[in-house]
Amino acid sequence: MHAQHEDPTVRAFIALAPPDDAKEELERALAPAYAAHPRLRWNRIEDWHITLAFLGELPRPAVARLRAPLAELAARHRPLHLTLRGSGHFDERVLWSGIGGDLEGLRLLAAEVRALVQEHGVPFTDRPLNPHLTLARARRDDTSGVVRAAAGLSAFTGRTWQAERLHLVGSNYGRGPGPIHYRDIEAWPFTGCECHQGTPLPRPEDAGR
């Protein structure tokens, strides 16, 4: 038998993930949009996440270097209290759900994550934090569904939930045809001190992509 080929690089990012019941609550609210806009490329709910730092394509040794430092960082934080609320779109092509709750704590956590990545010599995409869940993408020939779906979800406010783990995630993007899927490379529980409360972050439509 031939040994299974393993790609020398991993497309990776660091993220938070809502618990299943919070995702299912939003999924129920999306039912009319699923029915009305079947041509949108809907993300699987198990893939919904809040990106803290997008790392891109990394050599596997670089990913391995981050594991212990990320575990230590997670151990310094307690879970963040967040909500899923509202909706919007990027350029009429990407449908998102907004994030509410302890956004100052989220901002501080993301800043620590990015500083850690930089300290360990791992390149990443240094964009302003723009917390959201990506729900769907439009096909090239039809963007109207994204706009209508965003309007229908704009009043949604879900229950408060805890982000209990820090996730290092890999994706199969660019590795052949078919939908994009994500998998946890590793995840670490937040077990430490309280995250700070503070001023809310701007909503995604204010912050830009």
Both structure tokens of 35: 């029915």
pTM: 0.84
Task: Read off the pLDDT of each residue in 133-161 and give the average, rounded to a whole number.
Answer: 93
Spell out the domains of the chain, with CATH numbers in brackets: 9-193 (3.90.1140.10)
Res 178: pLDDT: 59
Res 6: pLDDT: 67
Q: Find the angle CA(179)-CA(184)-CA(185) to the nearest 5 degrees.
A: 115
Q: Inform me whether the pLDDT recorded for 208 exceeds 70.
A: no
Strands of the sheet with 50-59, listed across from one edge:
50-59, 9-16, 165-171, 182-189
Task: Return the DSSP state at 8.
Answer: S
Considering the chain, what is the average pLDDT of its residues?
88
User: pLDDT of 28-87, one tens digit each?
Assistant: 999 999 999 999 999 999 999 999 999 989 998 999 999 999 999 999 999 999 999 999
Nearest to 63 by CA among 124, 19, 3: 124
